[in-house]
């Protein structure tokens, strides 16, 4: 059985390793192509794509309370923020945690939206651990047929 005095040091080193990983990704710009390429320690993991009518953002975010999610769009940036609570029992009373790789705590992801995104037409749903955000494209950015007279 592990001595309780060793767990905080192990947690500290785990957190320092995670921080080092994030800093390595931030300060090695030659190895990433855009803000969307900053992954690894980021939560939630996201996919961004488009259809002819919409911009689709899918965030893999299991274990969240939908009421804890905060979404906003400002100046072409979509912000996904919230908190993921731990379901690991507190140490003590015979409980020992040997590993905890699942992210817990506050998070914030920022996604740069294309110019054709219409911030007035956004829909968000959270089902089965997936946050799906649909942003409509502006009518002026959609292709249209022009009749020649």
**Chain centre distance of CA 6:** 32
Q: Give strand pairing partners of 47.
A: 58
Q: What is the pTM of this model?
A: 0.64
Residue 102 lies in a domain: yes
Residues 6+ apart with CB under 8 A from 99: none
Which DSSP helix (H) or strand (E) runs through 10? Answer: helix 6-26
Asked whether residue 113 is domain-assigned, the answer is yes
2-35, pLDDT tens digit by residue? 444 444 555 666 777 777 777 776 666 544 444 4
Peptide bond into 44 cis (omega under 30): yes
Report the CATH number at residue 66.
Answer: 2.60.40.790
Residue 148 inside a domain? The answer is: no
Residue 132 pLDDT level (bands cut at 50, 70, 90): very high
Between 24 and 138, name the one with better pLDDT. Answer: 138
Task: For residue 10, give its domain range.
Answer: 6-88+95-139
82, part of any domain: yes
Q: How many domains does the chain have?
A: 1
Strand partners for 125 = 132
Q: Which residues, at least 6 apart from 105, have a Cβ–Cβ distance to it below 8 Å? A: 83, 84
């Amino acid at each position: 059985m592990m001595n309780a005095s060793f767990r905080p040091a192990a947690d500290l080193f785990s957190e320092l390793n995670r921080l080092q990983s994030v800093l390595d990704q931030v300060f090695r710009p030659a190895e990433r192509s855009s803000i969307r390429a900053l992954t690894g320690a980021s939560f939630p993991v996201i996919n961004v794509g488009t259809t002819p009518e919409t911009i689709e953002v899918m965030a893999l975010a299991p274990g969240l309370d939908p009421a804890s999610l905060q979404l906003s769009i400002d100046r072409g940036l979509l912000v996904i923020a919230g908190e993921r609570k731990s379901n690991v029992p507190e140490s003590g009373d015979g409980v020992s945690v040997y590993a905890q790789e699942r992210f817990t705590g506050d998070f914030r992801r920022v996604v740069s939206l294309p110019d054709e995104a219409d911030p007035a037409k956004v829909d968000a749903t959270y089902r089965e651990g997936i946050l799906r955000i649909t942003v409509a494209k502006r009518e002026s950015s959609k292709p249209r047929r022009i009749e020649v007279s």
